[in-house]
Amino acid sequence: MSDLDKPPARPRANAPVEIFTDGACRGNPGPGGWAALLRFRDTEKLVNGAARETTNNRMELQAAIEGLRQLKRPSRVVLTTDSEYLRKGILGWVAKWKCNGWLTAQKKPVKNRDLWETLDELVVNHEIEWCWVKGHSGHPENERVDQAANDAIDEQLGSEL
């Protein structure tokens, strides 16, 4: 049987991978950073990065993309974000945009289409529960990824001096 004939891989029936994401921007647009904290049982991995000129929404999307890119196999995921733009977009808007040729209800091109398309390709490999948490509300993991996203901005700005 060729790979094309095989049924799609199913998520493993074990504990979910938890992913906590955040994006940050100094100015909007301006220098930005993103971070994702992955946790599987008692193992954690933190990834982060920065962009010279970007927006907060782009960094929120990039955080989710980079978090999902860390997964090596189809997984059950609980992804927690403080971005309603990210959560509402992936749970509803993307499907509508695709049907409308990547145009909004106002017939304007979708902003950040490149990142939405990348995220849309990544999510099909996983069973994802999308959770929202209020930013800067003391949620420990959200505070960690917020700090890591800002650290990435600081590192980028420091390397440019």
Question: Positive or negative, the Cα torsion across 51, 54, 55, 58?
Answer: negative
Straight-line distance from the first to the last Cα atom of the chain, in angstroms, rounded to the nearest whole number:
57
Q: Which two tokens stand for residue 49?
A: 């990065």
Q: Which two tokens stand for residue 142?
A: 């959200």
pLDDT (tens digit per residue) in 117-161: 999 999 999 999 999 999 999 999 999 999 999 999 999 988 765
- Its CATH architecture, for the domain 13-159, is 2-Layer Sandwich (3.30)
Cα(13)–Cα(93) distance, rounded to whole angstroms?
29
pLDDT (tens digit per residue) in 12-44: 458 999 999 999 999 999 999 999 999 999 999
Predicted local confidence at residue 46, as pLDDT: 98
Active site residues: 22-23, 60, 82, 136, 146
Q: Tell me 23's DSSP state.
A: E
